[in-house]
Structure 1
């Protein structure tokens, strides 16, 4: 039982170290200084941000779920 605990602790340590290393490496992505040639556009307002990051994914999920339900019902009707 003690070996299982050690394996879990080691695995948790490796995952934590990997996550910390990834965050340390990706910090330049959060820099405020722009590189040469950057041409940032205008920012998004709240409605555009919600539509892009919430509305579109929810809409896509609903479409895919609807297609799955429709195809499943048609398959059940064919078997009856």
Structure 2
């Protein structure tokens, strides 16, 4: 019975998504609204810097701060299990 319910849920989700995609009209994005004043576009370098490099740098800074400021005791840290010597 679980396979039937999963199949039914998947079909419902796929059908709903398809209907939403068909009902939305991206052609209206080309018409300007009153007061719409878009700025100049971003260059490729600006786009990569803003959406790729900046998040990586922010992640690295946060990771570095957490590692440097870690005050936990070494006996409380989780270490990889080692093989016992035979």
Over aligned residues, Cα RMSD in angstroms? 2.5
Structure with larger Rg: 2
Distance 1:17 1:59 in 2: 40
What TM-score do the two structures reach when normalised by structure 2? 0.66
Q: Which has the higher helix share?
A: 1
Equivalent pairs counted in the alignment come to 75
Post-superposition shift, 1:70? 2.4
Cα distance change of structure 1 residues 35 and 59 upon mapping to structure 2, 3 Å threshold: same
Unaligned 5+ segments in structure 1 are none
What TM-score do the two structures reach when normalised by structure 1? 0.70
Unaligned 5+ segments in structure 2 are 77-86
